[in-house]
Amino acid sequence: MFNTDKIYEKNDKHVWLSSPTMHGDELEYIKEAYMSNWMSTVGKNIDEVEKHISEYIGTKYAIALASGTASLHLAIKMAAIKAYGMPGSGIVSLKGKKVFCSDMTFSATVNPVLYEGGEPVFIDTEYDTWNMDPKALEKAFEIYPDVKIVVLVHLYGTPAKIDEINTIVKKYNAILIEDAAESMGATYRGSQTGTFGDYNILSFNGNKIITGSSGGCLLTDDEEAAKKARKWSTQSREAAPWYQHEEIGYNYRMSNVIAGVVRGQLPYLNEHIAKKRKIYERYQEGLKGLPVSMNPFDKEKSNPNFWLSCLIVDKAAMCKQVRSESDNCYIKEKGKSCPTEILEAISLINAEGRPIWKPMHNQPIYRMNPFITSDGNGRAKTNAYISGEATDVGMDIFDRGLCLPSDNKMTAEEQDRVIKVIRDCFE
Ligand SMILES: *Cc1c(COP(=O)(O)O)cnc(C)c1O
């Protein structure tokens, strides 16, 4: 229970969840774009970003795009063509088709499925990495054996159970799309996330591990797909003396100015990851003895990028917490706490936490979509309205978990203050 009468030492400056960390090189590359007048979606920064990302990640092609969401949209279109052989000229390529998607994620992971007229089927989460549960995926294929596309997220920078998931994906002859928006630089059995699926994506949104202020990238080994993505992203012009169009096009290319920022950030990716890891480890140490644990990962197989440090409160240490569609409240209880109380306490000292991504199957927009748990029961099992009584894994982690301030510029003292108020919540 957090004592609100106590006077807490506040951080002088706001401690962000995860804010951009600039180094100076970015300005030089922006200036280069300006001075050479490549203030466009063509230019050296874009070429360099694509070259360095494909080398670093280890895919043959990296296509620099306007956002992670745009990259996902093109990945979905590409997968639709590969799976169903539909021509790219169609406005929607997934009409009437189901697509298996990670459930506990940001809505940007699944919205592109709807852009193409498809129907996301949400696959429940497992407790070991907080990602798609292979058992639930297997169940989903038993129920819908014709599904051909799987969209897999590596949440908060932690690689999913890729081996298990890939085995199932291959067994059912499906196509894997990795949403590595949050996991750039994370590895699984020594390979980068973003190399396991057929068409994969990164994001350079402002709060990601490195940023361009915005931007994204499509990753693939497929030469045809890379060519198509470049074409689609620049309005699908055909080779002709005039503007000739055979396919629907998009204005999805990355700007050469944005690419300057990304280019300047790339050399610092490993440094950012090292800092994020330190933050994670400091929380782990500082929260020892409390009835909480940090977001878990497979220590044998994976090296997360530790983008966000999160915690989950033990079931027995949860005070009563109720969440409606737009409000929440809790009842203070000695020795117990909950994410609502902890987030309130953190904000009192001028720091920013965040709830776990609310699972997609419980979002009003997706409430009618199928949802599959590891026993195949899905919606029959879940209670969409009463928080704290969830029986699916995603809602349970949403109820008991939260994201902690994980900013690379947070000082050790600032982090210690965050740790102190969390400890006080369990007094
Ligand atoms: C940020 C994010 C995206 C979207 O990336 P944008 O560049 O913001 O469009 C997609 N999926 C996940 C999991 C994300 O965290």
Two tokens, residue 19: 């804010």
Using alpha carbons, select from 136, 131, 171 the residue that is nearest to residue 154.
131
Q: Output the pLDDT for position 386.
A: 46
Two tokens, residue 273: 């990851």
Ligand 1 mean position, distance from CA 425 (Å): 32
Q: Give the residue, out of 110, 178, 205, 250, with the most ligand 1 atoms within 8 A of its beta carbon, to mutate for a pocket test.
A: 205
Ligand 1 mean position, distance from CA 178 (Å): 12
Nearest CA residue ID for atom 14, ligand 1 = 181
Ligand 1 mean position, distance from CA 350 (Å): 26
Ligand 1 mean position, distance from CA 152 (Å): 13
Two tokens, residue 175: 């196509």
**pLDDT < 50 stretches in the chain:** 384-388
Q: Show the domains of the chain with their CATH numbers.
A: 25-268 (3.40.640.10), 269-425 (3.90.1150.10)
User: Which amino acid makes up residue 94?
Assistant: L
Q: Output the pLDDT for position 165.
A: 98
Ligand 1 mean position, distance from CA 84 (Å): 26
Nearest CA residue ID for atom 7, ligand 1 = 68
Which atom of ligand 1 lies nearest, measured to the CA of 69?
A: 9
Q: For 33, phi and psi rounded to 5 degrees? A: -65, -40
Which atom of ligand 1 lies nearest, measured to the CA of 105?
A: 13
Ligand 1 mean position, distance from CA 423 (Å): 32
Taking the C-alpha atoms of residue 288 and residue 131, their distance in angstroms, rounded to an integer, is 24
Nearest CA residue ID for atom 2, ligand 1 = 181
pLDDT in tens, 197-256: 999 999 999 999 999 999 999 999 999 999 999 999 999 999 999 999 999 999 999 999
Which atom of ligand 1 lies nearest, measured to the CA of 208?
A: 1
Residue 51 CA: distances (Å) to CA of 44, 199, 209, 265, 267: 10, 17, 19, 14, 13
Taking the C-alpha atoms of residue 12 and residue 401, their distance in angstroms, rounded to an integer, is 27
Q: Give the residue, out of 178, 182, 254, 406, with the most ligand 1 atoms within 8 A of its beta carbon, to mutate for a pocket test.
A: 182
H or E stretch covering 149: strand 149-153
Q: Output the pLDDT for position 377.
A: 80
Q: Output the pLDDT for position 384.
A: 43
Two tokens, residue 210: 């490195």
Strand order across the beta sheet in which 119-123 lies: 61-65, 216-220, 199-203, 175-179, 149-153, 98-102, 119-123, 371-372
The long-range contacts involving 328-332, CB below 8 angstroms and separated by at least 24 positions, are 328/387, 332/1, 332/2
Pocket of ligand 1 (CB under 6 A): 67-69, 105-106, 108-109, 153, 179, 181-182, 203, 205, 216
Q: Give the residue, out of 109, 204, 214, 357, with the most ligand 1 atoms within 8 A of its beta carbon, to mutate for a pocket test.
A: 109
Q: Give the residue, out of 72, 179, 255, 360, with the most ligand 1 atoms within 8 A of its beta carbon, to mutate for a pocket test.
A: 179
| Other CB atoms within 10 A of residue 159 CB | 28
